[in-house]
Amino acid sequence: MVDQADPRAVGGGDPAEGATEVTGVLESATSLDPALRAGEASAAAAIAAGDSGPTDVPQTDLTAAAFFDVDNTMMVGASIFHFARGLAARKFFTTSDLIGFAWQQFKFRMGGRETDYAPTTGRDTALSFVAGRPVAEITALGEEIYDELMADRIWAGTRALAQMHLDAGQRVWLVTATPVELALIIARRLGLTGALGTVAESVDGKFTGRLVGEILHGPAKAHAVRALAVQEGLDLRRCTAYSDSVNDVPMLSAVGTAVAVNPDSELRDIAKDRGWQIRDFRTGRKAARIGVPSLLGAGAIAGAVAAGVAYRRR
């Protein structure tokens, strides 16, 4: 297992190809719990996409891997909020749509936990923006928007942790509620192995407006990690997971080593109780501001999302 105290710091095709057309893999599992189904779909999408990382880094430790949450863990703020901004700038949807979705998410954040979030109407509204849209179009937009709004928001400290695992010959996956198309772009740009993300159904290269299972959030992330471990022959006891959110405790609990990165107060308390490592790369100023764009991102996802998902937290 990689020593998480290691002080080292290091500042093949379209990865989205085949990532969304995985519904057939689950046709016999329609009765599965939505979270389990989402996890299975995400793992299937990750396998279909293949490795996106650099080929010059040998993978010598094949039973160990690392799993990184994205928002506030790998990236400052919410990836989907940055994506939404880029889509809004391209007139993909209106400002009033964005404000309305942000308000709905704000009410949810004030009134309940993300694990209780199952607003069918809100999800259907989100999916209406991508129904009939080509997957290739959304992927191309994601490439552009990553360069414009996301590349300079990667936490250098978290990126160094990911590189530590790669240098040790391990594979590294992102695990996020953001659409799998966008997650794969981020993973490829960072030189990581791949990504597990929320999967939207597509037929003939176009989104249908339906999710496969549900948002990759909470327990669904743990299901996805376990499903990928089975497919890839990983020993989860030798794996490591990183997150900032209490909502990711199921994923953090599924592996042998859990690390709280830029943790919220609830996760910080849990990490202390369980003896998990804590890494905080925020300055006081950034820590005070970080919740604002993330909260807005939670609402913005409804109008912006390539896979039509709702953002998981903060």
Domains of the chain in sequence order: 61-304 (3.40.50.1000)
Annotated catalytic residue 97: no
Give the pLDDT of residue 166: 96
Q: What is the pTM of this model?
A: 0.76
**Position 115 confidence tier, pLDDT thresholds 50, 70, 90:** very low
- Of 69, 244, 248, 264, the catalytic one is 69
- Of 51, 61, 71, 147, the catalytic one is 71
pLDDT averaged over every residue in the chain: 76
Give the pLDDT of residue 41: 82
Checking if the pLDDT of 218 tops 70, the result is yes
Give the pLDDT of residue 144: 95
Q: What is the pLDDT of residues 227-272, one digit of tens each?
A: 999 999 999 999 999 999 999 999 999 999 999 999 999 999 999 9
**Position 14 confidence tier, pLDDT thresholds 50, 70, 90:** very low
Strongest mean pLDDT among 109-113, 167-171, 216-220:
167-171
**Position 80 confidence tier, pLDDT thresholds 50, 70, 90:** confident
Higher pLDDT, 87 or 147: 147
**Position 290 confidence tier, pLDDT thresholds 50, 70, 90:** very low
pLDDT > 70: percent of the chain = 66
Contacts of 3 (CB under 8 A, 6+ apart): none
Give the pLDDT of residue 212: 82
Checking if the pLDDT of 56 tops 70, the result is no
Give the pLDDT of residue 120: 45
Give the pLDDT of residue 222: 95
Give the pLDDT of residue 24: 41
Checking if the pLDDT of 68 tops 60, the result is yes
Give the pLDDT of residue 32: 63
Annotated catalytic residue 69: yes
